[in-house]
Structure 1
Amino acid sequence: MSRTRIGEIRPSQLLWSYGPGALIDLPNMSVVTMTSEHWDEPRCRTIQEARLLANVRRVLGPQVESLRMPPINEEEVKDNTSAEALIGVPVKPFPRWLRCVKCGLLSPVEAGLFELKDRFRIERARFVHKGCKGSDGTKKTSDADAVPARFLIACKSGHLDDFPWHWFVHRGQDNCKGSLRFYENGASLQTENLWVKCDECGAARNMAHAFGKASKENLPGCRGRHPHLTRFEECDQEPRTVLLGATNGWFPATLSVLAIPPKSSTPLSQLIQDGWDDFSDVDSEPELKGLIKGFKRSGQLPGIEAYEIGEIWEAIQAHQGGGDQVYDRDIKTPEWEVLTADEPPNDYPSFKSKVVPAPNQFRDEIKRVVLLERLKEVNALIGFTRIESPEEGAGEDSVKRAPLTSRAPEWVPATEVHGEGVFIQFNLDHLEDWHGRKFVKALDDRLRVAHRAWRRKRKLDPDEGYPGIRYSMLHTLAHALIREMALECGYNAASIRERIYADVEGEQNQAGVLIYTAAADSDGTLGGLVELGKPENLERLMTQALDRAGVCSSDPLCAEHDPTKDQSLHGASCHACSFVAETSCEAGNRYLDRALLIPTLETRDAAFFWWEG
């Protein structure tokens, strides 16, 4: 494989936007990120998070040994041709079909008509059409830029393939070997004005035939191609035409946990766990002393310098003899126990909290608020989907996940990010009264019917996966607060996330919302969210959020939306009032309904907050 450096992205983007199987649309070409099997593993730092690793093993198998950061070159390298400059993840050009911008020639890279130029200049690397004569074939021979063909086909099983240009133009298998041309015939770039034509036989086809119901008759079956694995497999799904760069081309399937201190841990044991990659090789106290001095000089593992060498050595030995802990519960239950403890921990390196009273105006609904001055989130990539996004933590059956590797993975890509947040715990007595209302039950039944139809359409068990009406209410409130907080806290809306605690069937009767931010490129916080979580500020924000949610600019259509009619998974909600960025929502903007919070134009008596504005 050629080792040419062609572009740069942030490490966190390899988890959320450009992981294995995803397309990276660079200025002059498009590439697909290859399988993590070929990443430079020694440069992928291990992340110590046993609770997340245990849950990853449940999904991908017990052979997963570790969670690892993407390979990073931490030192600036000016020589782009050096070995150090090539640290990163492997990619290859995809789609393989390119189009000449001058003459419209369509041809795959393998045909040899296009050549890679300036491969050692990141900003200038591109393909060119050698000897192009222009669209009419009369211009002087010259090199013209070649860009990726903007049409691809994908299926719900995660396969991605080049658009079948020859099949499409010739309406099936054909022995014609003529070259193809892509051209526009109209003033706009609508698909009705885009055409493909064969130079040899004159066959032509309008690109509008590749979309909608017509695509079923005009496209071949899916070949089961995984370009990041360079393999094909059996597939019975219908392919769908997608555009290069479309958001439905790659959705990450992730698992995430908050790094919380276990009940038996101490601040020192947490530090030992965070730096275990370095501590695991220490064999004596003198060697440990030299390591701690190095930490002090570099600023790595802040807080470790407060302990004596003897204390640290004992903690290392205790960690070595502790064995593997068994985590047999869901991901969120341990977090709920820490967040709702009478005195949550406030002196851990990656978890600092402070309990404050509930806002005066909402004391009936809210039990208490916890300000998380520092928290750490660890995320692991376990696969990806195309066409349809997976549900949060979907390791079972929601949407079929495509694999990251060609065999059972021994490690998975992961990231750890630091941030801050506000946790709101709700009053269970008030919740139980709200659950008993007949209008709440009516909305619950309606959303459940839509949920069953949605899953049945996707050939999934219709009786599984419904989160409940409590989750929908808390989820909608989280979105309302995210949209309101983004206007004041200093973070952009896409960097604020939610975590909903609404399990009523497990060990705990949960009812809480965590609004938090976590940034991969900063160790620490701005303090904006914590400031907004103080009682006087949170009361004002909730008042404003509920007031805005009462009327949507798309009403009455939004308020009247019935999820059973179109098998969607939201009621009175839309982009104008409740939806947030994909990076913010843990459920893909599903299970939302403003009527569960406050009276709307359509439903007046199902509101958890009896709001008069």
Structure 2
Amino acid sequence: MSEKTPVGEVRPSQLLWTYGPGALIDLPNLSVVTSGIDRWERDRCQPIHEARLLNAVRQVLGDQVESLRMPPFSKSELADVWSAEANIGVPVRPFPRWLRCVKCGLLSPYDLGLFGLKENRYRPELTKFVHKGCTGSKGSDKAKDADAVPARFLLACRGGHLDDFPWHYFVHGGPSECKGTLRFFESGASLQTENLWVKCDTCSASRSMAHAFGQAGRENLPGCRGRHPHLDWFDHDCTEAPRAVLLGATNSWFPMTLSALAIPQQNGSPLQQIITDYWEDFADTEDLSELKGTIKALKKRGEAQGIEKYEVETVWVAIQHHRDGTDQVVEQADIKGPEWEVLSSPNPPTDYPHFMSTPTDVPEGFKDRISRVLLLERLREVNALIGFTRVESPDESIGQEHSSMAPLSRSNPEWVPACEVHGEGIFIQFNESALKEWEGKKAVAGIDQILLGGHRGWRNARHLSPDGDYPGIRYAMLHTLAHILIRELALECGYNAASIRERVYADMIDDMPQAGILIYTAAADSDGTLGGLVELGKPENLGRLLRQALERAKVCSSDPLCSEHDPAKDRTLHAAACHACSFVAETSCERGNRYLDRSLLIPTFEHAEAGFFKGF
């Protein structure tokens, strides 16, 4: 494939959540893998300024990380297909290398020359490989090019490696001197693996694909070669057992991300906040004349509103303070701590247009449990991709061991892909004294032990410290409430359910214990700023929705199996919770639908005394 052959389009945000470095993109006629960020055009990646998130990324990847940057994208969809603008994007390469002819079943790597690339500049998604001079399955004398599609079997391991399926090794039952051409064919009406076969033309050896999975797969497949196709690089010390996966399987790539809300400085001046928000514009100013031009450009764009109130000399002094670091301290790796300080503040600061809030009344009937409700008319969230895993999803928190995290580049990255989204939300703060009284109940302590048993079993199965990173019973209750409220809000607010997200604040810090949930929309387009969610946060609406959500949670359509579920028996991380009552989309949950139990909210068939909202 030539260096600049367009093969399709994806949205910039998908390069963080779905098709990031190392992920496979299954196009209509091709399958490609996104290359590592060391091959991206850095100059086309616009920087995003968020000091707290950058500091958190450095805690994981190292101090060499200089910036967060958006993936490159073309600003015009009408550019000439042969222009430089049409070539803006991220580099990809065909993967898997093995292709299959749809007519004769020939199975071969594309770089052996049996398959050729048929490019379509005007319809990039139609670019494909063809088997040149195919004579068909019966060896017809009339040769004709036939379509070639990717072989849909791969090898992956928990160490983050991905490799071509070892077709020759598999067919011949191990290393073999035979290098004959292979054919892939079907022997039955269904496409079950038992009916899919590979055969060697030279020695007639054949084997069913059913032998590539399960216990048979562990016996018939070679060890992991430690391949990173997105980096064109091999690790030579991988000890994980590879397993066969299908092209397009969801477990072939799981992103590992960090996110932070752009919050205003709690004690900073409005001018300091403006300098912080638009530092990318002010960073290169060297004197007052350049500063005047920068301010004029910002005003022309309608940005940095409020800076016109200050003299140019005052703005220059503020820039110098920011450059020297005397007006900012970003030392803490805790991302949620500063957010909690701002959200729980009696009078939260405002930073237009990134953060605007309005306190509202607590719904009637909940004032003994909820102490405060804050409506966030505007908020900004920044997400950064720091790595990915394969086969198994990431551990439930970034602060854990992440030895299996695959890298984004060959060397330590100097920047990481990021995106910013704007939205709105509802913040609910809970009564601390009511929570402590609830946590002291014997029934609550019993459920705490049940969840802890599942937590220990889950971590033991993954060879992790059994007692590490347990979030606590308070987190489980708040997390479950956030889920059932998201499900209820999605029915009325007008947003896609997958675009509503949560942030749970439940850290037990001695001097400032946290107890709150933030439910917000954060979409890459204007969908997250329509006002529908804030409207439902008003007391007359929020009270009704809370009652409806709790009422629905009393009985699940999967009861009694759901309410009787014991996480210790199957080493899971949830108790009375399932897809019918409490689970939400993966994009909505910050913990992958873990640490959930609706019996912590209301009485269920199995536990009648542990509900925080019992008798509401």
TM-score exceeds 0.5 = yes
* Structure 2 residue 578 is matched with structure 1 residue 577: no
2:153 corresponds to: 151
* Aligned-partner residue type, residue 47 of structure 2: T
2:504 corresponds to: 500
Task: Measure the CA separation in 1 of the matches of 2:141 and 2:526.
Answer: 54
Give the conservation status (yes or no) of the 8 Å contact 2:266–2:349: no
Mean Cα deviation higher: 24-33 or 193-202: 193-202
Mean Cα deviation higher: 37-46 or 330-339: 37-46
Give the conservation status (yes or no) of the 8 Å contact 1:476–1:593: yes
Change (3 A) 1:305 1:244: farther
| Identity value in percent | 66
Task: Spell out, residue by residue over 1:79-125, the C-alpha distance to the aligned partner (whole angstroms, 9 max, x if none).
Answer: 12222221111110111111112222211111111111125241321
2:60 corresponds to: 59
Task: Measure the CA separation in 2 of the matches of 1:495 and 1:237.
Answer: 36
1:254 corresponds to: 257
Instruction: Give 1:78 deviation, angstroms.
Output: 2.0
Aligned partner (choices 215, 218, 223) of residue 216 of structure 1: 218
Task: Measure the CA separation in 2 of the matches of 1:139 and 1:469.
Answer: 73
1:160 corresponds to: 162
Task: Measure the CA separation in 1 of the matches of 2:403 and 2:485.
Answer: 29
* Structure 2 residue 374 is matched with structure 1 residue 384: no
Task: Measure the CA separation in 2 of the matches of 1:598 and 1:159.
Answer: 44
Task: Measure the CA separation in 1 of the matches of 2:499 and 2:310.
Answer: 35
Change (3 A) 1:140 1:265: farther
Aligned partner (choices 344, 347, 352) of residue 348 of structure 1: 352
SS where residue 192 of structure 1 aligns?
helix
Task: Measure the CA separation in 2 of the matches of 1:66 and 1:451.
Answer: 36
CA RMSD of aligned residues (A): 1.9
Instruction: Give 1:381 deviation, angstroms.
Output: 0.9
* Aligned-partner residue type, residue 149 of structure 2: V
TM-score by length of 2: 0.95
The equivalences for 1:195-344 within 5 A come to 195-233=197-235, 234-301=237-304, 304=307, 309-323=312-326, 325-344=329-348
Give the conservation status (yes or no) of the 8 Å contact 2:56–2:333: no
TM-score by length of 1: 0.96
Instruction: Give 1:52 deviation, angstroms.
Output: 1.0
Task: Measure the CA separation in 1 of the matches of 2:141 and 2:543.
Answer: 70
SS where residue 125 of structure 2 aligns?
coil
Task: Measure the CA separation in 2 of the matches of 1:202 and 1:84.
Answer: 51
Task: Measure the CA separation in 2 of the matches of 1:553 and 1:104.
Answer: 47
Mean Cα deviation higher: 519-528 or 35-44: 519-528
Instruction: Give 1:303 deviation, angstroms.
Output: 5.5
Instruction: Give 1:524 deviation, angstroms.
Output: 6.7
Task: Spell out, residue by residue over 1:237-266, the C-alpha distance to the aligned partner (whole angstroms, 9 max, x if none).
Answer: 011211111111111111111111122323
Mean Cα deviation higher: 291-300 or 133-142: 291-300
1:87 corresponds to: 88
The equivalences for 1:10-25 within 5 A come to 10-25=11-26
Task: Spell out, residue by residue over 1:496-522, the C-alpha distance to the aligned partner (whole angstroms, 9 max, x if none).
Answer: 111011111465211111101112223
SS where residue 576 of structure 2 aligns?
coil
Task: Measure the CA separation in 1 of the matches of 2:261 and 2:192.
Answer: 46
SS where residue 123 of structure 1 aligns?
helix
Change (3 A) 1:305 1:94: farther
1:68 corresponds to: 69
* Aligned-partner residue type, residue 63 of structure 2: P
Instruction: Give 1:228 deviation, angstroms.
Output: 0.7
* Structure 2 residue 459 is matched with structure 1 residue 458: no
Task: Measure the CA separation in 2 of the matches of 1:114 and 1:266.
Answer: 64
Give the conservation status (yes or no) of the 8 Å contact 1:597–1:607: yes
Task: Measure the CA separation in 2 of the matches of 1:178 and 1:609.
Answer: 69
Task: Measure the CA separation in 1 of the matches of 2:5 and 2:203.
Answer: 39
Instruction: Give 1:136 deviation, angstroms.
Output: 2.2
1:554 corresponds to: 558
Mean Cα deviation higher: 233-242 or 548-557: 548-557
2:411 corresponds to: 407
* Aligned-partner residue type, residue 422 of structure 1: I
Task: Measure the CA separation in 1 of the matches of 2:488 and 2:532.
Answer: 13
Task: Measure the CA separation in 1 of the matches of 2:498 and 2:512.
Answer: 31
Task: Measure the CA separation in 2 of the matches of 1:304 and 1:193.
Answer: 70
Give the conservation status (yes or no) of the 8 Å contact 2:265–2:349: no
Task: Measure the CA separation in 2 of the matches of 1:416 and 1:64.
Answer: 18
SS where residue 466 of structure 2 aligns?
coil
Task: Spell out, residue by residue over 1:580-607, the C-alpha distance to the aligned partner (whole angstroms, 9 max, x if none).
Answer: 1111111111111111111122222211
Mean Cα deviation higher: 388-397 or 528-537: 388-397
Give the conservation status (yes or no) of the 8 Å contact 1:391–1:588: no
Task: Measure the CA separation in 1 of the matches of 2:243 and 2:599.
Answer: 36
Instruction: Give 1:9 deviation, angstroms.
Output: 1.0
1:433 corresponds to: 437
* Aligned-partner residue type, residue 272 of structure 1: I
* Aligned-partner residue type, residue 240 of structure 1: R
* Aligned-partner residue type, residue 320 of structure 2: Q
Change (3 A) 1:596 1:199: same
SS where residue 360 of structure 1 aligns?
coil
Mean Cα deviation higher: 127-136 or 402-411: 127-136
Give the conservation status (yes or no) of the 8 Å contact 2:273–2:351: no
1:519 corresponds to: 523
Instruction: Give 1:353 deviation, angstroms.
Output: 0.7
Task: Measure the CA separation in 2 of the matches of 1:410 and 1:393.
Answer: 23
Give the conservation status (yes or no) of the 8 Å contact 1:370–1:424: yes
SS where residue 361 of structure 1 aligns?
coil
Gaps of 5+ in 2: none
Give the conservation status (yes or no) of the 8 Å contact 1:59–1:396: no
Give the conservation status (yes or no) of the 8 Å contact 2:161–2:390: yes
Task: Spell out, residue by residue over 1:49-95, the C-alpha distance to the aligned partner (whole angstroms, 9 max, x if none).
Answer: 11111111111111111111112332445212222221111110111
Gaps of 5+ in 1: none
Mean Cα deviation higher: 329-338 or 395-404: 395-404
Task: Spell out, residue by residue over 1:464-519, the C-alpha distance to the aligned partner (whole angstroms, 9 max, x if none).
Answer: 11111111111111111111111111210111111011111465211111101112
* Structure 2 residue 118 is matched with structure 1 residue 114: no
* Structure 2 residue 376 is matched with structure 1 residue 372: yes
The equivalences for 1:456-495 within 5 A come to 456-495=460-499
Change (3 A) 1:106 1:611: farther
Instruction: Give 1:139 deviation, angstroms.
Output: 6.5
Task: Measure the CA separation in 2 of the matches of 1:10 and 1:268.
Answer: 35
Change (3 A) 1:399 1:63: closer
Task: Measure the CA separation in 2 of the matches of 1:191 and 1:507.
Answer: 59
Change (3 A) 1:119 1:369: same
Instruction: Give 1:186 deviation, angstroms.
Output: 2.0
Instruction: Give 1:423 deviation, angstroms.
Output: 0.7
* Aligned-partner residue type, residue 570 of structure 1: H
Task: Measure the CA separation in 2 of the matches of 1:206 and 1:597.
Answer: 51
Task: Measure the CA separation in 2 of the matches of 1:432 and 1:236.
Answer: 47
Task: Spell out, residue by residue over 1:402-428, the C-alpha distance to the aligned partner (whole angstroms, 9 max, x if none).
Answer: 111111111111111111111111111
Instruction: Give 1:305 deviation, angstroms.
Output: 5.5
Change (3 A) 1:492 1:239: same
Task: Measure the CA separation in 2 of the matches of 1:357 and 1:195.
Answer: 66
